[in-house]
């Protein structure tokens, strides 16, 4: 089973991550980087490029792009915290990401983060749309709250997530934070276990 294009789960399993100084860690970070870019970031770039020359009112991929960004928030914070399975913990994951990451903390307190989780993330996941008091747009500030309406500039919001992804990669590759490395290893190990389970169930 492939982790990313051309990288199989067995490639990861052959690496030695017993010592934080081992260079195999850098290969692992590369696998993770490729996976996130191929599965999430590149699709968003394709969608944005397709609407590049379209007027703001004619753009129609906002829900799809924001849905992918919500997946990224959950994935990135789960890796940071070493959460193997985010079932039942998604609300706290979003709260931590939006209030603790520098690219977002200036726009969100805990109440506003919970609002985003319920009105954007959960509505997109369960209803395929945001709530009536929330709008996805492509101009203006990243977050604007006015007259009971929250407007999210999905272009700036996505770029902020890309920035946080790059920050996280830089922290991992610096290998200065032992807890960050251990949490990363926990999460990616669970990823691969889930892949192996899927292969056994589907292809047995």
The model's pLDDT over 163-196, given as tens digits with 9 standing for 90+, comes to 999 999 999 988 788 899 989 988 887 765 554 4
Side-chain-side CA neighbours of 185 within 13 Å: the count stands at 17
Angle between helices 154-174 and 42-50 (to 10 degrees): 150
Q: Does the global pTM surpass 0.75?
A: yes
**153, 130, 161: which is closest to 63 by C-alpha?**
130
Instruction: In whole angstroms, give the CA distance from residue 6 to residue 88.
Output: 33
Classify 180 as helix, strand or coil.
helix
Q: How far is CA 70 from the centre of its chain?
A: 6
> Cβ of 132: how many Cβ atoms within 10 Å?
10
DSSP 111-135: HHHHHHIIIIIIHHHHHSS--TTEE
Strands (E), the chain: 2-4, 7-8, 134-137, 143-146, 149-153
Tell me the C-alpha to C-alpha distance, in Å, between residue 188 and each of 25, 52, 124, 169, 184.
12, 35, 26, 14, 6
Domain-wise residue ranges, the chain: 40-203
Is the distance from CB of 142 to CB of 158 less than 8 angstroms? no
The predicted structure's pLDDT at residue 148: 93
User: What Å distances lie between residue 170 and 16, 138, 173, 180, CA to CA?
Assistant: 21, 28, 5, 12
23-72 residue pLDDT tens: 888 888 888 999 899 999 999 999 999 999 999 899 999 999 999 999 99
CA 121 to chain centre: 12
Residues of 20-40 as b/e, b for ≥16 C-beta within 10 angstroms? eeeeebebbbebbbebbbebb
pLDDT per residue over 94-129, tens digit each?
999 999 999 999 999 999 999 999 999 999 999 999
Per the DSSP assignment, residues forming a β-bridge with 151 are: 135, 144
């Amino acid at each position: 089973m492939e982790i990313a294009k051309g990288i199989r789960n067995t490639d990861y399993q052959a690496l030695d991550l017993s010592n934080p100084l081992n260079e195999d860690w850098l290969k692992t970070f590369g696998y993770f980087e490729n996976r996130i870019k191929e599965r999430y970031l590149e699709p968003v770039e394709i969608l944005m490029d397709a609407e590049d020359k379209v007027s703001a009112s004619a753009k129609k991929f906002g829900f799809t792009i924001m849905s992918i960004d919500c997946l990224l928030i959950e994935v990135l914070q789960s890796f940071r915290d070493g959460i193997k399975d985010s079932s039942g913990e998604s609300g706290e994951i979003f709260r931590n990401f939006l209030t603790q990451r520098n690219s977002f903390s200036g726009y969100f307190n805990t109440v506003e983060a919970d609002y985003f989780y319920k009105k954007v993330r959960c509505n997109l996941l369960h209803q395929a749309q945001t709530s009536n008091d929330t709008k996805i747009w492509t101009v203006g500030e990243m977050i604007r709250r006015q007259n009971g309406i929250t407007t999210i500039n999905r272009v700036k919001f996505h770029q902020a997530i890309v920035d946080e992804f790059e920050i996280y990669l830089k922290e991992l590759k610096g290998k200065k934070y032992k807890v960050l490395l251990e949490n990363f290893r926990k999460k990616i190990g669970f990823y691969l276990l889930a892949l192996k389970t899927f292969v056994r169930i589907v292809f047995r």
